[in-house]
């Protein structure tokens, strides 16, 4: 085990409860234990160059960066939900019934298609597009190349776009 990894693992073990309390305060949607797991995964990717002299400070910098990333992901999710509400209900206070019906139907098709995405395409898409995990981090987490991750993202977008644009005529007649 690398010396930086040893230093950070010891700091993580010593600071686990404090980090858990910190994560409980900063995340509205994700459990502190999930954030601790993500932090632990980030620790495992730290190399030995340059050497870490203050493990606790470095650990809290990693935790801070993770909290910022989580805040961005939550803000992104809120924007996506606001956009979905806008699509479903329009910008007016009273939605056009036909427009709302069509938008809801379109959203249901896309959500159903997202549920049916084959693995690992589904996981790659969820991590990158919904959780805002960078492509390189997704690749490391899954032990694949960045090119493979990009291929899965393209595949997911194609399948979801096809689902969005498809109209199941058998349901209407």
Give residues with Cβ within 8 angstroms of 61, minimum separation 6: none
What pLDDT sits at residue 169?
42
Which tokens is 70 given? 């989580």
163 in Cβ contact with 109 (< 8 Å): yes
150 in Cβ contact with 121 (< 8 Å): no
What pLDDT sits at residue 171?
42
What pLDDT sits at residue 84?
77
What pLDDT sits at residue 7?
94
Q: Which residues of 128-138 are buried (b: 16+ CB within 10 A; e: fewer)?
A: bbebbbebebb
pTM equals 0.49
* Whether the bond into 120 is cis, omega within 30 of 0: yes
What pLDDT sits at residue 91?
59
CA–chain centroid gap for 165, Å, is 25
89 in Cβ contact with 100 (< 8 Å): yes
What pLDDT sits at residue 120?
93
Each of the 173 residues of the chain gets a pLDDT tens digit; together they read 569 999 999 999 999 999 998 888 887 777 888 899 999 999 998 888 888 989 999 999 999 988 888 888 888 888 888 877 777 666 555 556 777 777 788 888 888 888 899 999 999 998 888 888 888 999 999 999 999 999 999 999 899 888 888 765 444 33
């Amino acid at each position: 085990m690398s010396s930086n990894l040893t230093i950070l693992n010891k700091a993580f073990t010593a600071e686990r409860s404090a980090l858990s309390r910190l994560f409980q305060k900063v995340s509205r949607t994700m459990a502190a234990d999930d954030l601790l797991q993500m932090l632990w995964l980030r620790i495992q990717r730290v190399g030995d160059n340059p050497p870490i002299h203050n493990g606790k400070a470095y650990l809290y910098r990693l935790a801070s960066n993770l909290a910022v990333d989580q805040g961005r992901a939550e803000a992104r999710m809120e924007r996506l939900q606001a956009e979905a509400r806008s699509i479903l209900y329009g910008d007016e206070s009273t939605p056009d019934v036909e427009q709302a019906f069509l938008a809801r139907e379109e959203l249901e098709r896309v959500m159903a298609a997202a549920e049916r995405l084959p693995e690992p395409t589904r996981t790659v898409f969820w991590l990158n597009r919904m959780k805002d995990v960078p492509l390189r981090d997704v690749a490391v987490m899954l032990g694949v190349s960045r090119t493979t991750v990009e291929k899965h993202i393209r595949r997911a977008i194609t399948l979801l776009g096809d689902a969005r644009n498809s109209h199941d005529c058998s349901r209407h007649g």
